[in-house]
Amino acid sequence: MLIKKRSDIKSSEITDRSTYLNRRKFLIDAAGSLVGIAAGISVPRLLDPARDAHAGVKLNGVRKSPLSTDETPNSLKDITTYNNFYEFGTDKYSPAKYAKSLVTRPWTVAVEGEIKHPKVYDIDELIKISPLEERIYRLRCVEGWSMVIPWVGFPLNALINQAQPTSKARYIEFKTLFDPKQMPGQYRGVLEWSYTEGLRMDEAMHPLTILAVGLYGEVLPNQNGAPIRLVVPWKYGFKSIKSIVRIRFVEKQPLTAWMKATPHEYGFYSNVNPEVDHPRWSQARERRIGEFSKRKTLLFNGYADQVAQLYQGMDLKTYF
């Protein structure tokens, strides 16, 4: 049989990752203390200096959210092995293989532009500005597949409120790290680096819009956009920019990486819409990863009740 059936094993029944990691931590600590005794220093941190921030480490105090869907999430394996992250190669299996080269600590995010309180945040400080929440969201890729992903993060509006935008701030521009040594895909000019995305201020303030730092209750794996990424569940996946280093409040609509690459195919809004086809393929249906037959794509990816009012009076075919 060629086609995977939906697994009967629930994600909750698979060996808890923290159990597995505890074993790993025990082994590292044990090895470390042995070497440490010999060398007279504490070695575990030398062996694994950024361990606290590694993918798979449990995040504490994560709250549930009423904004989560009750659909069954995809497996951690599917979510972490099938990724579009061109900074690590254009093949969907490449990010899982090559994203190890990304160093996520230390990491800073510059928050700047038309705001009263510009600041360069250390990542560990940034993730504490608001309590972490689990947000189980649908993700719809512009290529016609979708997943359900249990993100951990906090609303972007918490950061915006701290930054206090001026009256000139109408959009936000986001940028991914540019460092080809860590992100070898950037040696090739597939897109104009660094990857750039943008949101209108009301989209950015919307409670569904989050900055994600985790997945399945654990620190975000590199291939999913560590240490911090945007998640805007009613837009195509490429809007949810990964590994953010700069958040800039601006007056004019930012020019995003995909708009620069093919302006007639990728617009600024890129809201999920079954009625507005990609010039080269239909967006009417999608394949949910793990399912055999395709399902109908929903307007605004099923979040129309919450977000449709943002676009009232706009022709969604013009503002695609």
Partner 1 sequence: MIKGLLFLASLGPLAWLALNGYAENLGANPIEVITRTTGTWTLVFLLITLSITPLRKFSGWHWLIRLRRMFGLFAFFYACLHFTTYIWLDQFFDLGDIARDIPKRPFITLGFLSFVLLVPLALTSSSAMIRRLGKGWQQLHRLVYVIAIGGVVHFMWLVKADQRQPLIYGTVLTLLLGYRLLARWYAKRRLGFVSGGTPVPFRGMTEL
Where do contacts with partner 1 occur on this chain (CB under 8 A)?
A: 1-4, 74, 77-78, 81-82, 86, 90, 92-93, 143, 145, 188, 190-191, 261-262, 277, 280-282, 287, 289-290, 293-294
Closer residue to partner 1 in complex, CB, 84/222: 84
DSSP assignment letter at 102 = -
Q: Where are the beta strands (DSSP E) in 191-306?
A: 196-200, 210-215, 218-219, 229-231, 244-250, 285-288, 295-296
Prior bond of 233 cis (ω within 30°): no
Q: How far is the CB of 158 from partner 1 (least distance, A)?
A: 32
Query: Closest CB to partner 1 among 26 and 187?
Result: 187
**Nearest distance, CB of residue 282 and partner 1, angstroms:** 7
Min dist. Cβ of residue 54 to partner 1 (A): 23
* Least distance in angstroms from the C-beta of 206 to partner 1: 27
Name which of 118, 198, 203 is nearest 163 in CA terms.
Answer: 118
CB of 97 to partner 1, least distance (A): 12
- What is the C-alpha to C-alpha distance for residues 303 and 135, in angstroms, rounded to an integer? 13
- Cβ nearer to partner 1, comparing 264 with 280: 280
End-to-end Cα distance, the chain: 40
Residues 66, 67, 73, 79, CA torsion sign: negative
| Whole-angstrom distance, CA of residue 135 vs CA of residue 154 | 9
Strand partners, 246: 110, 175
Q: Between 154 and 266, name the residue whose CB sits nearer to partner 1.
A: 266
For the CB of residue 113, give the shortest distance to partner 1 in the complex, in Å: 28
Phi, psi of 199 (to 5 degrees): -135, 150
CB closer to partner 1, 4 vs 116: 4
Provide the β-strand partners of residue 46. Answer: none
**Residue (63 or 77) nearer to partner 1, CB:** 77
